[in-house]
Structure 1
């Protein structure tokens, strides 16, 4: 560091002060009471008196040595339980109405639980915390939901981000695979039990956003983050429109004359929507243009299919069963809606239908194809029957839907 002052006369009283940030990368262990520090300062001045003075232009050099000590911070709770983290700062990939994201506060909430969804969603559901400013995360405290002491995500992964857009995995010490954290739940526990998960030096991170990714399906949690939070402004909740990541419902439509089936659904949690096509009652599937966000209708006994682009606004139309697409005007869309055989898509929401039979689901979510062919959405995918036994022919979340 160097600086200069153009001129100082005998009437000036000059002083300098500096703010030093020591160990900004936090390489020193936390909780140290006294870190002995020596700071040498080399100060050089030059005399600039009147030309007739002998000391004009003479350089003066002085080495100053300052000795002092400081303490490193100890990790503290970030603010889930206390409410420092506001409701708008807690989001999720999905949630049950009875177990919203803001219920994930240690000791005070009832616990967050994701929607009941089949693979590949249930092992990738996440709870996300926007700390509001950067923090150095050193660990977590976990608790079950208030439903049961066994209702806890005892196996999970962690992700972190500075902007909520680009995410990084917490890796194992080898850096090859994502770290899986586990807690051991007592066989005779209580919903008030708290499980501490301390991150080692290679697992700790600086970030503003943290995701806890569920390992087991259908389980929930309450938590607190531990670490060192940097000073920053309070989050303005009025600028945050939603507290939960929107979930695209699965949908399908069937041509009752030709038997063609069109299906759309998320590939994964936070992933893209894929649409697929089958012309053999679901025995095989082909992926449709990935610029689609949904197929909303078809005209039966033709090759006309109507969809929406990735912006979820622009209407598209295909006249060759979904292989090529063109923009569709509102006027033309109205004409297609008036055609005989115009058939809108069916949605299959992310709900717990495990206790329902295929016939029950068909009554709510079913569509009919040619002859005795009937279809329904299920928690896993699409089931088809020709009047006899129901057969699941495809699963949500795969891009080609062919049976494995």
Structure 2
């Protein structure tokens, strides 16, 4: 056995590079392995204080508005407009299938909300299908609500349902594998995909299989499991996180047309304990930039820009359900800068127009908090 395997590999690479260069070829360099940050301890030394804003029934997602107020969904089929004066219930919401991981899910507003008053929501309907709907916020009522995309067929849990608006003007939507893992690799099934749509819910121009029709025309990437975080960094890159099975939560850089491997590969195991091939066994699949074992069960993803926390500019914030806190990730996805133990399950995190940071607690009576710098 070679007692210095890393030295041997380095010498081989050093000898290979000049040979390839003399032939006018680029050297073959193995990509750096993704980093497991799950074993990094969480800290109770917080650089902020948590200010309770409102107590809400089973809150699920936050959408900051231009006036620094927020919309918050409740998984049971409720929504509130939270301002300095309290939480006002919003009417006009659809009937949802409220059980387990299903119910009223994400809420998002487009960049031109001030002009259009458009609000986009995702929910699991009584037919168990994931719906993407668009309405108009008129005072305390959501009007003109219409489903613009619907999952066919539906499924069980793990719905995904996260919405992000891209700098290209398109809408990006996560669809979980609905607890049917094999379908994530079926190109004609929306499960386990990230879709790129117009704001009317149609396949977006420039998609990898534009013109193919059906799910293929809508698909931006595939091979995902349960994606509860999706956001763009200031450089225009799209980032996503998804829950692994037993281990192997992932942070992925999302790039057009790539396949992220679920359920052929994972850095976790099946719940039965049976192994799954690791990402490094299949270089044809896109590997995560970071992963967590032990898991944090990531939920919510926001990119920080603002004045309250200047050291966080361009970095990402990720809530943790199993992790009971909040993680700060470098904006290029290279490392977990910090993770804080907040002693609560954090369901979502959002950043307001002036840099306000909001989180919600995953609980039957969960609190909405604002983070204030110490």
What's the TM-score, normalizing by structure 1? 0.22
Return the structure number with greater strand share: 2
TM-score calculated relative to the size of structure 2? 0.24
- The structure having more radius of gyration, on CA atoms, is 1
